[in-house]
Amino acid sequence: MIQVSELSFTYPQRQQAAIADLNFDIAAGEIFGFLGPSGAGKTTTQKILFKLLPGYQGSASIDGIEVRDWGIELYHRIGVSFELPNHYLKLTALENLQFFGDFYRKQYRKPIDLLAMVGLENAANEKVGAFSKGMKMRLNFVRALQHDPEILFLDEPTSGMDPANAHLVKDLIRQLQQEGKTIFITTHQMYDAQELCDRVAFLVDGRIRALDTPKSLQLAYSRKTVDVLFKGDELVKSYGLDGLGQNSGFWQDLQTREVVTIHSREASLDAVFMEVTGKSLS
């Protein structure tokens, strides 16, 4: 559905490329994530894909058509939730959705139902200027859905939200995937990427450093051991996962001693990111 090949972009009056030689593709119905710290080039890549940044090098295509060749028809097919809220502050939430919704042919749900999806139905007639950042972000999110797009670009979709609302939005993202939508998320929230994405790419300084499923990345960088804490010990005892079934010492300890805790050592995505890129996500 989305193919990116050798994609590079340099902002005018800048020496250094914001992104360089990116290669990835996103299949229909997939949730794909860009994970990286601020300034890594995540938003730049998305902006190229929804045609806000012309003058890129390499290739970026949607449905086999190069982005630069798409006309305004592209915007019937994609929905965008920006990193920062951008609404008419003097209009109400409902008026904002009605204004933007009027430009499209299709309607996913009625504006009031969209607001209800993210718990904003009681604030439908309040001016957006009085909203908290989290409320504005939820409005951003449903505005991106209102014309029932096939592809969704979600830039930091849970930014500024409390845990309950972030959870609600993540559930909605999964539901949208079930409905067949292709979703491209950028985030620096490791847990969001881990929970939502089928595949993630680690982006640092405009370059992709790793790309795989979150599970594969975690397994690839995990220590392959089982750590057991026995009663009376102060330190955990580690056993190699390879050949664990034939490890007589492990079985003997299990049979003769009382186990307090037992864990395999899976690396968190955050730790994998640090190991691969040498940088932290914050």
Binding site for another protein (CB under 8 A): 12, 50, 52, 54, 72-73, 75-76, 78, 80, 82, 84, 86-91, 95, 99-100, 102-104, 127, 143
Which residue type does 20 have?
A
DSSP character at residue 18: S
User: What's the min distance (Å) between Cβ of 80 and another protein?
Assistant: 5
Residue 41: CB minimum distance to another protein, A: 17
Q: Shortest gap between Cβ of 100 and another protein (angstroms)? A: 7
Minimum CB distance to another protein, residue 244 (Å): 53
Amino acid 172 reads L
Nearer to another protein by C-beta: 88 or 251? 88
Minimum distance of another protein from residue 46's CB (angstroms): 11
Tokens read off for 224: 């392959």
- DSSP summary character for residue 129: G
Tell the smallest beta-carbon distance from residue 85 to another protein (Å). 8
Neighbour tally for 262: CB within 10 Å: 13
| Nearest to another protein of 41, 85 (CB atom) | 85
State the Cα–Cα distance between residues 46 and 52, nearest whole angstrom.
9
Q: 73 vs 258, which CB is nearer to another protein? A: 73
Q: Which residues have C-beta within 8 Å of that of residue 112, sequence separation ≥ 6?
A: 94, 121, 124
User: 52 vs 164, which CB is nearer to another protein?
Assistant: 52
Residue 91 vs 276, nearer CB to another protein: 91
CB nearer to another protein: pick between 82 and 273: 82
Nearer to another protein, 79 or 214 (CB): 79
Residue 81 makes CB contacts below 8 A (sequence gap 6+) with 137, 140, 141, 143, 144, 152, 153, 154, 155, 157
Least separation in angstroms between residue 132's CB and another protein is 16
First to last CA, the chain: 30
Q: 119: left (phi > 0), else alpha (psi -120 to 50), else beta?
A: left
- Kindly state the tokens that stand for 70: 């798409």
| Angle, vertex CA 196, rays to CA 183 and CA 87, nearest 5 | 55
Q: How far apart are CA 59 and CA 37, in angstroms?
A: 24
Nearer to another protein, 143 or 188 (CB): 143
CB atoms within 10 A of CB 6: 12
The distance of closest approach from Cβ of residue 15 to another protein in the complex, given in angstroms and rounded to an integer, is 17
